[in-house]
């Protein structure tokens, strides 16, 4: 089991907990460490946001491809049933 200080440090480095702890202590952190943690959290958030956006774009292209395929099949059926002149 982690020691109390290690648990607090782990929480500090990993983002805010979903539920506030019952007991908490404020830790003094130097500006360099604080800036490092902030930049790391910002980078992780930006990466997650980019991945989420990329997933949405990929899903959009897949759905557009499915619509395009259905329209091509429909167009083929229409051309087959039209009288040839």
Q: CA 27 to CA 8: how far, in whole Å?
A: 8
User: Two tokens at 18?
Assistant: 């979903």
Q: CA 73 to CA 80: how far, in whole Å?
A: 11
Q: CA 66 to CA 78: how far, in whole Å?
A: 18
Higher pLDDT, 9 or 49: 49
Is the confidence at residue 23, as pLDDT, over 80?
no
Residue 27 is given by DSSP the state: P
Report pLDDT digits (tens) over 38-66: 888 888 888 888 888 888 899 999 999 99
End-to-end CA distance of the chain: 83
Q: What is the pLDDT of residue 69?
A: 96
Is the confidence at residue 73, as pLDDT, over 70?
yes
């Amino acid at each position: 089991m982690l020691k109390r200080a290690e648990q607090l440090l782990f929480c500090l480095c990993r983002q805010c907990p979903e539920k506030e702890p019952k007991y908490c202590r404020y830790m003094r952190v130097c500006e360099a460490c604080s800036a490092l943690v902030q930049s790391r959290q910002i980078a992780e958030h930006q990466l997650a946001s980019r991945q989420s956006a990329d997933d949405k774009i990929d899903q959009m292209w897949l759905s557009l491809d499915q619509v395009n395929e259905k329209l091509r099949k429909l167009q083929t059926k229409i051309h087959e049933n039209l009288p040839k002149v």
